[in-house]
Structure 1
Amino acid sequence: MTTASTEKNPSTGLTVEVFGPTVEFLTTESGFSVLKGVVPPGVFVPMHSHPDVEDFIVIAGEMQCLKQETESHEWITAKVGDYIHVPGNARHAWRNASNEPAILLIITTNKMEQFFRESGRSIDGTLQLPTPEELGKFAAISAKYGYWIATPEENAAVGIHFSF
């Protein structure tokens, strides 16, 4: 018989960086994954979608989440204690327009956890812009999982401007 025990602040000890935001893997042994995301000030997650459901709880700072409708979009601000549910295949994006890091608990599928494990970079203490090779690898891994990534033009249309 395996003995299970309640654990305060569980963590696997693994944290990866995904071109700015970091993802720490907290619990991964059940039918879902709980992650801790940290989004530094001024950092964004471009518009994307995936079949996986994601749930977010803001535990520090604040984030803006893009709510994409068929004909329009709206940025909604999530503050400490707010809960955001992103259904599967919903186009969404994130941005931290504040001067403080935002910290989020992310509840999602084991598939999404595996995606982050494969696409994330080791943390070495310095934030580096992604290389063309890293962006290509990210695009290939996204395609492998069936995840959609918006073009720079589609991102610009919702207020996210970047170039590499």
Structure 2
Amino acid sequence: MGDIAAAAGVVRRTVYGHFSSRLDLIRTLMERAVTEMTAVLAEVSAAGAEADATWVAFIARLWPVTHRYRVLLALRRGEYGEAIHSLFGPVDELLADLVKRGQDSDVFAQHLPAGVLSQVAYGVVFAIASSDLPTEISGARAATITSLLMLGVPETRAIALAGEQP
């Protein structure tokens, strides 16, 4: 909490005035992330495009804020994992539904259950967001293509879908 206070330019007591504990702060951030991500997923899904194109639209909308969410996803595997996992449920369900829709229409591979496959593909987006790619490689494009490949989309289709994505 001291590091957070210093980064915000306030004293630690100010942070505790808003959040009673680190878990309270993390829970609040996670709730905001889940709200934003479910809204984006609902919006791109409503467009009625193929599942792979919907995935691309989701990643394109999410990419500018991945740096905010990657820490929360990392914490999901740590000390606060159980609390974060339960909050993240709506996003997990929407992603699994999208992947299932893609599997049902033979757009995505069926070698894993939709819930697992969605987490693998989603995880690669944040792994790329956390990496130090060479400057000539677009992280958004790399994340889009790689996650589509993880979903079983043929490489030529994944590259075409990524198109002119920055």
What TM-score do the two structures reach when normalised by structure 2? 0.28
Hey, which of these two has a bigger chunk of helix by percent? 2
**Structure label with greater radius of gyration:** 2
What TM-score do the two structures reach when normalised by structure 1? 0.28
Hey, which of these two has a bigger chunk of strand by percent? 1
